[in-house]
Structure 1
Amino acid sequence: MKRFSNSLLESLEAYCQDFGGRVAAASVKNFLLSHPDDMDKTLMLFGRTQDRQVYSMDYAHPFTPVQAFAIALSSMDSHLVTFD
């Protein structure tokens, strides 16, 4: 799996990702995962919605529901996040 790279949105002077309307609030926890051979195919999406207490998670094969949920949970703990 490969994480999507961010693109610079100059009007906001910030890096952004296109979540197709599923994610509405900015958060360092938001992410998209894709297959390294097909960057246009999103395998997992996780991010904060308009209601800042609610997150959205979409996943596709090869992830199982348990795997996708575990990946989403791991992004919630800031102590586990690395910035390499």
Structure 2
Amino acid sequence: MARAFGEALAVQMVVGNAAIMPNGLLSSASTLTSVLTQGIGNTTDGSVQNDALWTLAMLLLVMSLFFNMIIKFIGRKTSINQGDR
């Protein structure tokens, strides 16, 4: 999942890159990555929109870090359990 957050173009193409709220699981939606790629070039430094996009970027980074830490924790736990056998 952490890799999926970083795959901007692949996720954009799969989800449909629509700036609407999805009605269901199979309807189009917008990802954090697509919002960042579309909006960062259209804002000025210090504006509310630019600050919101930087906050989204930080959120994306924190989510990726969180998933990486979970995977490392699970990997360490399984290697410890296999070493006991």
TM-score when normalising by structure 1: 0.29
The structure whose residues are more often strand, as a share, is 1
Structure with larger Rg:
2
The structure whose residues are more often helix, as a share, is 2
TM-score when normalising by structure 2: 0.29
Higher relative contact order (CA 8 A, sep 6+): 2
